Amino acid sequence: MTIDIAAAGVRNSPSAFPFSAGRTWAVDWDREWAGAPTASSAGGPAREPEPEERTATWELPQRLSSTCMARRVTRARLTKWGLPDDTIDTVELLVSELAANALRHTQGPVQLSLSLEDGLLRGEVEDTDRRPPRLHEADPYDERGRGLNMVERLSCCWGSVPTLTGKVVWFELPVRSHL
């Protein structure tokens, strides 16, 4: 079974826009999305993912509906990495907030990256806006303006780093995997 990722609006290769150097672009879409058997799903012993399997990057199409896609790919990848459901829920929310901000406030491409190393999960959203994010105190009746406050409260740390083409907004969480 093959899923046409291009038709779904997902890219797993570098775009014409230069994102930060040193990104890992290889994402095994066919095996993950088509549900090809792995050792654990084929009835064999579960195995610890290799280090290169613990980094994933996606380019999000420039439309607000891409926030939903960011949540789906985040949940799928973190499930594959064997993280607990409560951690996946938290990371899904944080990714959703950062992706929504980038998609709402920028015009260029948006890149989502997840990495897991030594019990620390890092989520990054890169966009083409050079302005750093800032916390906003929303009024009780405001419909927006609470996203970065949630990121600050739910992650152990977060921040932004300027790039040649914009910025990366990131967060980190300590995690334990079930694998």
Convert the pLDDT of each residue in 148-170 to its tens digit: 878 889 999 999 999 999 999 99
Q: Are 35 and 79 in contact (CB under 8 A)?
A: no
* pLDDT per residue as tens digits for the range 28-42: 333 343 333 333 344
Instruction: Report how far apart, in Å, the C-alpha atoms of 1 and of each of 28, 34, 54, 132, 152 are.
Output: 14, 6, 24, 42, 41
Instruction: Please give the CATH topology (third level) of the domain spanning 61-179.
Output: Heat Shock Protein 90 (3.30.565)
Q: Which two tokens stand for residue 172?
A: 């980190």
Whole-structure pTM value: 0.69
